Amino acid sequence: MRGGHVRLVNDFNPRSAVDAQFSLPFVVAMAVTREPLGPGMFSEARLFDPVVRDLLGRIALDQDAEAEALFFNEQRLRFSVAITLKSGASVQREIEFPRDQKRLGWTGVETKFRTLAGSLLPAAQVERAISTVRALDRLETLAPLIESVCAASGPGPFPIGP
């Protein structure tokens, strides 16, 4: 894989969920194994899965000065990925964000939030948070927003304002 700033996220031996979140090789291994995007991909089971560990040793990251300049000058991310199959054939793809990605839009943001928050909060609370964000311009304080995204075991109440 080639891209800009890869030296900042080149942990080939993540030992915790936080390490894995900042490890490009780990995220690539998750993509190769078709792990669904979400908090589950950072579980201990996935983190120490022998298949994942084997893949981490097969991934190479190369710095791309052009991609770094593109990000610095135009805030565009560009990565090139080449995968060599067991047959010897190579599959290559270059991606550039945001050009290769459709705009997420509100429905996409809701879907992503449901995916990421769904393992942390009850479904009703996730939906309440989404409804609260929809009404954000009508809230007098941020208390309803904060309460809607905090786990029940967290601190509360949340006084906001004077």
Q: Check whether residue 82 and residue 121 sit in a common domain.
A: no
Q: Check whether residue 93 and residue 133 sit in a common domain.
A: no
CATH number at residue 61: 3.30.1330.120
* Domain contains 157: no
Instruction: Please indicate whether residue 162 or residue 41 has the higher confidence score (pLDDT).
Output: 41
| Phi and psi angles of residue 146, each rounded to the nearest 5 degrees, phi first | -60, -45
* Domain contains 34: yes
Mean pLDDT of the chain: 87
Q: Check whether residue 78 and residue 59 sit in a common domain.
A: yes
* Domain contains 159: no
Q: What is the pLDDT averaged over residues 98-106? A: 70
Domain that holds residue 83: 2-97
Q: Check whether residue 10 and residue 68 sit in a common domain.
A: yes
Q: Check whether residue 78 and residue 127 sit in a common domain.
A: no
Distance in Å from the first CA to the final CA of the chain? 52
Q: Check whether residue 114 and residue 85 sit in a common domain.
A: no
Which tokens in the block code for residue 36? 């669904």
Which tokens in the block code for residue 162? 């004077």
- Residue whose C-alpha is closest to residue 35's, from 45, 19, 46: 46
* Domain contains 50: yes
- Residue whose C-alpha is closest to residue 141's, from 132, 131, 150: 132
Domain count, the chain: 2
* Domain contains 154: no
pLDDT in tens, 22-73: 999 999 999 999 998 888 899 999 999 999 999 999 999 999 999 999 888 8
- The pLDDT, as a whole number, for residue 160 is 46
Give, to the nearest 10 degrees, the angle between helix 105-117 and helix 123-134: 150
- The pLDDT, as a whole number, for residue 129 is 94
